[in-house]
Structure formats: structure tokens, C-alpha cells
């Protein structure tokens, strides 16, 4: 449905010029004057004009169906009058009949390509029908008819954006900027596109223009510094952040950006100096320091470059309040990430002495033992956690189930995982649910329950379609069974795409190819798998069988 508000500015111009367009169109269609027209012709022309005016008045009163009926009757007699087609198109727009509106708009524009009102309406109809390429052509025509028509240029840019042509939209906004280089709105749109398209050097220039125009907010200056980091100029970035801090010592985003600049430059000395200055600020109360610590901890989980700085920051804060359980917990998490498991557990143990029911500390303690394959310690930690918190979490139960599986206690592991499944809801972290189903699948496979194992792996793939382990294991079991061999081959190929040098995955792909009657293709994958893992007898056996088939 065409929204009239969407093209209201266009239609306002069209309505205002409607009668003039009609009369000029009629006279241009056939140059008639009193000396050329017979009395009969003059009378007929007058009747047509009167009826046209009547139809326009009906449209002005929003009686569009009746107006359209009059236009249709007139068009039967004079189908090539552009103004008539244009008026009919407007009526069709008002009645949300877009296909008809498009037909009559195209007729009007084709009959008079110089009329900007016709092109404007046609472009708006195209745009409403999501035919962005056609709309762009019409707006380009409007802009060519009047190169100073900024409205047409803005519409053209919006159409390009709607059609995903961001580079073209940027080019149009740059043309608009030529009319008013200080226009902040246009500069802002250009900046947004340059950032989106990663034109960072150009974005730096645009930001500088905005700042020079008086829009020098701290946020813009902060963004300018961050852009200098993006283009590999940390010194310029640091200078900007230092200026911001000099003006506003408590402006935490600038401090964070300053620390990030030092991290990106791998300048440990400057990072330490900046950190000392920040932590000594009177504006940095302990709550703000704790939030800063949390931010660094989260960044360290996403970027290894932040792990050591995060530990340094959190350790300095911990030295100011050695018994703050939040800080101790965060430091333990970072130490876990660094694989300093014993030190991490010391922090978790201190947290639990302060707060025995701190569930995340129990979870992190169990995770630390799990990372070292200390499965008995995992079970002991989970048992103590259950005593402390009464109601175990999904994460604890998944850890417990996996530890029991690794210890070969399959029935108990399945029982625990079934209980964990009852805690799964839409807010559960997906990696935990995936791990739950993967563990179930591996247990069923150990028990020889192939169908159940495949079903559990499909539960994994429903959550994570690119899970290489699930793809590989399902493919291998299907190939072994000789069932759904084509799907087994698809899964095996997808697993190898995820990890091309995994010998187990290569073996599965080779075996799936062989089982699909393609021993020639299988040979290369199996030879590579054996080269990567020469002491694996199963790979050697698969290769031997393939070579026998090729003799």
C-alpha cells in the first residue's frame, strides 16, 4: 500500500500545479486558438476542459473513484494527453492501486519527459513498489532536469540506500554537500556511510569538517581518535584522547580509548603510565573501577591482546580492596583464560570463603578443573556447590554430566544430563545446550545406540549448523551404516571445510566417498589423513580397503 505521507511533499507540488499542467498540456497537445477552431471544435474543447476541471475538483474533495471514472472516460477520447494520464495516476495512488498508478505515471512521463511533476510521481510509485533501480533512474532524470534540485538528490540517495547501493548513495550525498559544505545533516549522513563502508581516511576528513563547523562534541573527537587507531596512527589518536582528558579528567570513555591505544600499539610502558594516572583520579571511585575491570575482563574474552592488560588492571584494583569478591572473581576468570589454573582457583576459593553461595565462583572453579581433565575434582566441586546453593545451575550439571562421561559412568551421566535438559530455556547460553547434546550423543555412541546418537547430534546441528564435530560424527556413523550416504558425504565435506587439516575429519570424508562408490576421490583424503596421523590404525585400514578397490 502506498503511503500518501511518504510522498506528501511530491503530491503537494503536483496538486498545486495540477490545473496549470492540465491546461498547458491540452494546449501543447494541439495548438488551438480562435482562428483555428471551428465553433463545433471550440464547443467540444470547452466541454472536455469543463469535465477535466470537474474531475480535478472531485479529486480535491477526495472523491477519487468518481474522479477516476471521469478521467477514464476522457482518456478513451484522448489517450495521449500526458496531463490526463498524470491526473489518473494521482487518483490511483490515492486509492492505493499501485499497479494502475504505475501504468498511468509511466504513460504521462513518456508523453512529456520534460515535466518534473510526472517524473516525481513515477519515481515515488517505483519507490513504493520497491523497484529501486527504476526509482533511481527517475530521480536521476529529475536531477538532470534541474541540477540544483536538492530534494531530488536526497530522494535518489534514499533510494540507493533502500536498494543496498551504499557507494552510490555516498556519491549522491557528496554532490549534495557541494551546495552547502557546512550542512551538518549531510555531513553526518556522509560520515555514517563512510564508516559503514570502512572508508576511514575519508571519514577522518568528514569528522574534521564537522568539528570545524562547531559540532566539536567530545563524542565526535573521541570517534576521530578511534579512526586514527583504525588507520594505524596511534600517536595521533593518543594526542586527541589526551586533549579530551585534559579538558574533562573524569571522561571515562576517553581514558578507555587511551588505554586501548596503548594496547593496540603494544606499548606496555605507556599502558602502565596511563593506568596509574586513571586509577589515581579522585573521580574514579571504587564502583567505577569495578565497572572498568568488568569491561576489561569481557574484552579479554574476545581479544587475547587484552588478557594481560586486564589482569594488570584487575590486580591493581584488587590490591586496593583485597577482599572484594567481585574483583577476585574477575581476576580468577582472567587467570583461567591465561591457563594459570591454580592461581585462578585460589581466587575462586577466596570468593567462596567470603560468599559460599556465589554460584559463578563454583561454576568457574569446576571449569578450571575441567580444563585440566581433573574430572574427579569437577565432581567434588559440583557436589560442594549443590550443598551450598541447593539448586544447581545448567552449567554445573553439564559439567557434571561431561565429567561422569569421561570417567565412563554412562548411565549416571545420562541421568544428570536429563535433569540438565529440564533447565534449558530460551535464555540458556547456546554453547551450554550444544555441549549437553554433544555429551549425550557421545554417550549413546559409546553404548552402541547409533540411532539415538545421531538424533542427539541432530539436536546439536539444529542449534549450530556448522558444528564440525557433530557433522563429522554423524557423517561417519551414517557411512558405517550404509544409510543416507549422500547426506553423510555432504556432512563430511562441510566438516572438512571447517577444519581442513583435521586427520579425523579427512578420514571420515575419504570413507564417505568410498562408501558412495568414489574410491578414486577417497584415496587423496585418506592419504593426507594418514600423513597427518600415521599411528592411527583405523585410517590405515580405510586406506588399505580403498587401494584394494582401485586395483
Which of 100, 129, 158 is the C-terminal boundary of a domain?
Answer: 129
End-to-end C-alpha distance for the chain, whole angstroms? 69
For the cut 70, the answer to whether the pLDDT of residue 463 exceeds it is yes
Q: How far is the C-alpha of 92 from the C-alpha of 97, rounded, in Å?
A: 5
Contact 169/157 with Cβ under 8 angstroms? yes
Span 100-156, pLDDT tens digits: 999 999 999 999 988 989 999 999 999 999 999 999 999 998 888 888 889 999 999
For the cut 80, the answer to whether the pLDDT of residue 482 exceeds it is yes
Widest Cα–Cα separation across the chain: 111
Q: What cell does 63 get? A: 472523491
Asked if 388 and 410 sit in the same domain, the reply is: yes
Residue 337 lies in a domain: yes
Taking the alpha carbons of 496, 500, 504, 508 in that order, is the dihedral positive or negative?
A: positive
Band of residue 218 on the pLDDT scale cut at 50, 70, 90: confident
For the cut 90, the answer to whether the pLDDT of residue 26 exceeds it is no
Q: What cell does 108 get? A: 504521462
Span 347-397, pLDDT tens digits: 999 999 999 999 999 999 999 999 999 999 999 999 999 999 988 899 999
Asked if 313 and 372 sit in the same domain, the reply is: no
CA separation, residue 551 to residues 164, 243, 519, 537 (Å):
56, 77, 11, 21
Asked if 124 and 31 sit in the same domain, the reply is: yes
Q: What is the pTM of this model?
A: 0.69
Three-class SS string for 147-164?
CCCHHHHHHHHHHHHHCC
Which of 98, 129, 160 is the C-terminal boundary of a domain?
Answer: 129
Q: How far is the C-alpha of 132 from the C-alpha of 279, rounded, in Å?
A: 54
Q: Write out the residue range of the structural domain in which residue 298 sits.
A: 285-355
Residue 494 lies in a domain: no
Span 189-212, pLDDT tens digits: 999 999 999 999 999 999 998 888
Asked if 67 and 114 sit in the same domain, the reply is: yes
From 200, 137, 124, 201, select the one nearest 165 (Cα to Cα): 137
Residue 140 lies in a domain: no
Which of 464, 489, 518 is the C-terminal boundary of a domain?
Answer: 464
Band of residue 39 on the pLDDT scale cut at 50, 70, 90: low
Q: How far is the C-alpha of 278 from the C-alpha of 508, rounded, in Å?
A: 55
For the cut 50, the answer to whether the pLDDT of residue 18 exceeds it is no
Q: What cell does 95 get? A: 486509492
Residue 249 lies in a domain: no
For the cut 70, the answer to whether the pLDDT of residue 168 exceeds it is yes
Residue 194: enclosing H or E segment and its boundaries?
A: helix 184-196
Asked if 120 and 35 sit in the same domain, the reply is: yes
Identify the DSSP state of 376. H
Residue 542 lies in a domain: no
CA separation, residue 306 to residues 264, 318, 319, 364, 398 (Å):
9, 18, 20, 20, 29
Contact 359/391 with Cβ under 8 angstroms? no
Asked if 50 and 65 sit in the same domain, the reply is: yes
Span 299-355, pLDDT tens digits: 999 999 999 999 999 999 999 899 999 999 999 999 999 999 999 999 999 999 999
Asked if 350 and 361 sit in the same domain, the reply is: no
Mean pLDDT of the 471-493 span: 94
Q: What cell does 301 get? A: 574474552
Identify the DSSP state of 358. -
Q: How far is the C-alpha of 3 from the C-alpha of 512, rounded, in Å?
A: 56
User: What is the length of the chain?
Assistant: 551
For the cut 80, the answer to whether the pLDDT of residue 512 exceeds it is yes
Question: Phi-psi region for residue 281, left (φ > 0), alpha (ψ -120 to 50) or beta?
Answer: beta
Band of residue 274 on the pLDDT scale cut at 50, 70, 90: very high
Angle, vertex CA 349, rays to CA 345 and CA 351, nearest 5: 115
For the cut 70, the answer to whether the pLDDT of residue 32 exceeds it is no
Q: How far is the C-alpha of 188 from the C-alpha of 97, rounded, in Å?
A: 36
Domain count, the chain: 3
Contact 428/395 with Cβ under 8 angstroms? no
Residue 472 lies in a domain: no
For the cut 60, the answer to whether the pLDDT of residue 5 exceeds it is no
Asked if 293 and 351 sit in the same domain, the reply is: yes
CATH number, position 320: 1.25.40.10
Asked if 32 and 125 sit in the same domain, the reply is: yes
Asked if 10 and 98 sit in the same domain, the reply is: yes
Give the HSE-up count for residue 361: Cα atoms under 13 Å, Cβ half-sphere: 23
For the cut 80, the answer to whether the pLDDT of residue 17 exceeds it is no
Asked if 312 and 410 sit in the same domain, the reply is: no
- Point out the least confidently predicted range of 13-27, 207-221, 417-431: 13-27
Place of cell 581514558: 255
Average pLDDT of the chain to the nearest whole number: 88
Residue 388 lies in a domain: yes
Mean pLDDT of the 169-184 span: 91
Residue 216 confidence (pLDDT): 59
3-state secondary structure of 551: coil
DSSP-derived secondary structure for 74-85:
HHHH-TT-HHHH
Question: Phi-psi region for residue 198, left (φ > 0), alpha (ψ -120 to 50) or beta?
Answer: left
From 392, 461, 383, 446, select the one nearest 414 (Cα to Cα): 446
Question: What does the buried/exposed string (b/e) look like for 483-492 if buried means 16 or more CB atoms within 10 Å of the residue's CB?
Answer: ebbeebbebb
Residue 30 lies in a domain: yes
Residue 43 confidence (pLDDT): 55
- Point out the least confidently predicted range of 6-10, 304-308, 414-418, 532-536: 6-10
Most confident of 42-51, 74-83, 446-455: 446-455
Percent of the chain residues topping a pLDDT of 70: 91
Band of residue 9 on the pLDDT scale cut at 50, 70, 90: very low
Amino acid at each position: 500500500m502506498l503511503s500518501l505521507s511518504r510522498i506528501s511533499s511530491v503530491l503537494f507540488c503536483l496538486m498545486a500545479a495540477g490545473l496549470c499542467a492540465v491546461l498547458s498540456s491540452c494546449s501543447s497537445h494541439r495548438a488551438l486558438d480562435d482562428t483555428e477552431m471551428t465553433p463545433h471544435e471550440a464547443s467540444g474543447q470547452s466541454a472536455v476542459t469543463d469535465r477535466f476541471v470537474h474531475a480535478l475538483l472531485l479529486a480535491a474533495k477526495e472523491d477519487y473513484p468518481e474522479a477516476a471514472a471521469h478521467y477514464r472516460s476522457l482518456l478513451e477520447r484522448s489517450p495521449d494527453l500526458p496531463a490526463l494520464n498524470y491526473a489518473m495516476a494521482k487518483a490511483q495512488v490515492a486509492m492505493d492501486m499501485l499497479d494502475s498508478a504505475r501504468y498511468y505515471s509511466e504513460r504521462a512521463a513518456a508523453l512529456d519527459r520534460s515535466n518534473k511533476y510526472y517524473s516525481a510521481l513515477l519515481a515515488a510509485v517505483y519507490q513504493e513498489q520497491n523497484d529501486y533501480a527504476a526509482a533511481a533512474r527517475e530521480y536521476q532524470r529529475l536531477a538532470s532536469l534541474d541540477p540544483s534540485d536538492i530534494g531530488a538528490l536526497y530522494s535518489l540517495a534514499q533510494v540507493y540506500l533502500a536498494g543496498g547501493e551504499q557507494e552510490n548513495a555516498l556519491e549522491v550525498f557528496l554532490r549534495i554537500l557541494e551546495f552547502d559544505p557546512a550542512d551538518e545533516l549531510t555531513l553526518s549522513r556522509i560520515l555514517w556511510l563512510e564508516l559503514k563502508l570502512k572508508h576511514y581516511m575519508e571519514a577522518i576528513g568528514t569528522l574534521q569538517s564537522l568539528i570545524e563547523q562547531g559540532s566539536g562534541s567530545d563524542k565526535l573527537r573521541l570517534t576521530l581518535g578511534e579512526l586514527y587507531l583504525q588507520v594505524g596512527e596511534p600517536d595521533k589518536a593518543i594526542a586527541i584522547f589526551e586533549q579530551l582528558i585534559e579538558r574533562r579528567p573524569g571522561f571515562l570513555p576517553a581514558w578507555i580509548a587511551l588505554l586501548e591505544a596503548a594496547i593496540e600499539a603494544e606499548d606496555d610502558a605507556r599502558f602502565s603510565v596511563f593506568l596509574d594516572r586513571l586509577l589515581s583520579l579522585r573521580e574514579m571511585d571504587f564502583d567505577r573501577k569495578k565497572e572498568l575491570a568488568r569491561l576489561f575482563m569481557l574484552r579479554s574474552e574476545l581479544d587475547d591482546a587484552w588478557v594481560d592488560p586486564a589482569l594488570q588492571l584487575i590486580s591493581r584494583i584488587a590490591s586496593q580492596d583485597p577482599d572484594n569478591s567481585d574483583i577476585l572473581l574477575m581476576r580468577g576468570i582472567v587467570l583461567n583464560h591465561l591457563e594459570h589454573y591454580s592461581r585462578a582457583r585460589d581466587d575462586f576459593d577466596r570468593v567462596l570463603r567470603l560468599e559460599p553461595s556465589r554460584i559463578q565462583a563454583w561454576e568457574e572453579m569446576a571449569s578450571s578443573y575441567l580444563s585440566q581433565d581433573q574430572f574427579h575434582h569437577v565432581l567434588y566441586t559440583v557436589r560442594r556447590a549443590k550443598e551450598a546453593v541447593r539448586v544447581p545451575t545448567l552449567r554445573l550439571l553439564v559439567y557434571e554430566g561431561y565429567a561422569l562421561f569421561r570417567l565412563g559412568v554412562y548411565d549416571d551421566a545420562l541421568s544428570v544430563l536429563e535433569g540438565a535438559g529440564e533447565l534449558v530455556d530460551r535464555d540458556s547460553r547456546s554453547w551450554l545446550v550444544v555441549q549437553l547434546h554433544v555429551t549425550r550423543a557421545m554417550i549413546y555412541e559409546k553404548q552402541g545406540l547409533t540411532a539415538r546418537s545421531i538424533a542427539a547430534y541432530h539436536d546439536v546441528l539444529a542449534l549450530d549448523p556448522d558444528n564440525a564435530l557433530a557433522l563429522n560424527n554423524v557423517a561417519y556413523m551414517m557411512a558405517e551404516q550404509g544409510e543416507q550416504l549422500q547426506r553423510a558425504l555432504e556432512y563430511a565435506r562441510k566438516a572438512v571445510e571447517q577444519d581442513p587439516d583435521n586427520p579425523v575429519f579427512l578420514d571420515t570424508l575419504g570413507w564417505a566417498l568410498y562408501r558412495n562408490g568414489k574410491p578414486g576421490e577417497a584415496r587423496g583424503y585418506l592419504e593426507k589423513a594418514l600423513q597427518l596421523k600415521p599411528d592411527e590404525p583405523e585410517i590405515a585400514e580405510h586406506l588399505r580397503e580403498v587401494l584394494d578397490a582401485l586395483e
